[in-house]
Amino acid sequence: MPYKLTIILLLFVLSSYSDSNSGIDVTITISEELKSDFDENGRMFLFLTQNPQLEPRTQTWPNPFAPTHIFAKNLTGIDPESPVQLNDFTDWIGTPEWTFNEIPDGEYYAQVLWDQDTLESRIDAPGNIYSTKHKITIGSTEHLEFTLDQVIPDRAVKDHDLARFIEFTSDTLSKWWDKPMTLKAAVLLPDGYKKGAEYAIRYNVSGYGGRYTRINRLLENQDFMNWWTSGDAPEVINVFLDGEGPFGDSYQMDSDNSGPYGYALINELIPYIESEYRGSDDMETRFVDGCSTGGWVSLGLQLYYPDTFGAVFSYSPDAVEFENYQLINIYKDENAFVNEFGYERPVMRDISGEPLLSLRRFIQYENVLGSSDSYLNSGGQFSAHTALYSPKGENGLPEPLFDSKTGEINHSVAEYWKKYDFKLYVMENWDEIGPKLDDKIYIWAGDMDQFYLNVATRTFADFLSSAKDPVSDAVIEFAPMQVHCQQFSNKRVLEQIQDKLK
């Protein structure tokens, strides 16, 4: 059923910084078709971009080349039977330096989204409602009408003989959350999948927030599928783990805030998958891989569960130790946003080293996305990191490592993060886990990683290269003048697995 929710935005903006009383009046009218499905509580988002090629609502990450400006506010108690009048935007949180009443003159593409979903952590959740984008001109009186007639559809795995969808209820997570909690995944079977045979299994972890439906891109990639069905590809079952968790990506690890995702993966989901799809149930033929967030998670799973996986292929992992949490030393630095020399700390650079984006600006995007008006439940990268590494805080939110507005670091929280500092973990446990990691670790990093992640990887590599009793045989490659995930591909990892199986 098509949904129709009409939002009439009356924008009275005489000039960008006029002395006049610029203001915005919004009238929201809900159609009969929508009333039964409309949730009276949610978060309203308004997106503005000057790039006609973008779908504004999808630009929730601060693109330094084509910024989309976002404004948001929680709205409660909306009666679908009556028009809703909004005329005060002074307390709406936004990403730009200017307020919603001080939009610089010019042409924009505007879009509205109503986030009413409570099951997923990000605003691209099925059931959320949005408008088409409209071209508007700021600098004169405007009367704008938006129809929220688009609904984000349910996710689905493409129909294919070799593809399967898994939805598994975790008893452990359900007990922890006191409600049903499901884990999802997609499976790509080998071309020669035959009844009765057992197969090696690859568990792939996506880059940040990647969903199980990324299998669809492979199914639609004719070059990959031609290779996969040619007889040259390894006879391996591919499992694409889902990146959704209560605060963003679950990172597939146990968390004080998100719950026992690591335990559920190792003790519930993996045994279920391997019993259903004839995995060999043998550590030597079970592999884990990923890039970026997936690089961190896959390496973490290998380190913390060394008896479960036979090898890891980790590309451009997130910061693997926290003296170099990107450019922050969380144990010594006083502020995340400003370095010891008083300069704004970048979070992203180009291949020549030129800074592109500050951490302060990056965090402000997450502050706008979070219903708490902070990054703590934004569903973004720093929301997920905080949920994973930090203790529980107030109001059901994780305890922040740093203040969302000032960047001031809480060093008591930094001490708590040490449990997932891979360098510290490996140093403290090398006698026990070192022998179990023999011939199991492969890490790749570009030395011009856009997010400065190669620095922590080098520090981690330095420890492994000096490890004794046992000596580490980890293979860690650094590629000069290469960037984040540049060498990662599904085919490359599968060929690396194929070499392991020979």
Domain 163-321+421-501 annotated CATH 3.40.50.1820: yes
Residue 212's identity, in one-letter code, is Y
Q: How many residues does the chain have?
A: 502
CB proximity list for 461: less than 8 A, separation 6 or greater: 443, 474, 476, 478
Q: Answer whether 329's CB lies under 8 Å from 336's CB.
A: no
Beta carbons within 10 angstroms of residue 462's beta carbon? 12
Helix (H/G/I), strand (E/B), else coil: 166: strand
Residue 355's identity, in one-letter code, is P
CB proximity list for 475: less than 8 A, separation 6 or greater: 441, 442, 443
**Two structure tokens written together for 374:** 């902070």
**Two structure tokens written together for 22:** 């610029």
Instruction: Look at residue 264 in the predicted model and tell me its pLDDT.
Output: 98
b/e sequence 336-369, b meaning 16+ C-beta within 10 Å: bbbbeeeeebbbbbeeeeeeebbbbbbbbbbbbb
Quote the CA–CA distance of 373 and 369 in Å, as a whole number: 7
Q: Answer whether 443's CB lies under 8 Å from 288's CB.
A: no
Instruction: Look at residue 101 in the predicted model and tell me its pLDDT.
Output: 77
Where exactly does CATH 3.40.50.1820 map onto the chain? 163-321+421-501
pTM: 0.94
HEC string of 112-159 equals: EEEECCCCCCCCCCCCCEECCCEEEEECECEEEEEEECEECCCCCCCC
Judging by DSSP bridges, how do beta strands 200-205 and 236-241 pair with one another?
Answer: parallel
Residue 78's identity, in one-letter code, is I
Choose among 218, 200, 198: nearest CA to 158.
Answer: 218
- Residue for token pair 């006083």: 334
Instruction: Look at residue 149 in the predicted model and tell me its pLDDT.
Output: 86
- C-alpha dihedral over 248, 251, 252, 258, to 10 degrees? -50
Residue 225's identity, in one-letter code, is M
Beta bridge partners of 302: none
Run means of pLDDT, 10 residues per run, the chain, 502 residues:
38 33 62 81 94 95 92 89 76 92 87 94 95 83 74 96 98 98 98 87 97 98 98 96 97 98 98 92 94 98 98 98 98 98 98 97 98 98 98 96 98 98 98 98 98 98 96 98 98 98 90
Beta bridge partners of 359: none
Alpha helices in 305-380 (DSSP H): 359-369
Q: Answer whether 184's CB lies under 8 Å from 173's CB.
A: no
Judging by DSSP bridges, how do beta strands 286-291 and 200-205 pair with one another?
Answer: parallel
HEC string of 92-107 equals: CEECCCCCHHHCCCEE
Instruction: Look at residue 143 in the predicted model and tell me its pLDDT.
Output: 66
Quote the CA–CA distance of 278 and 255 in Å, as a whole number: 30
- Residue for token pair 């179990």: 436
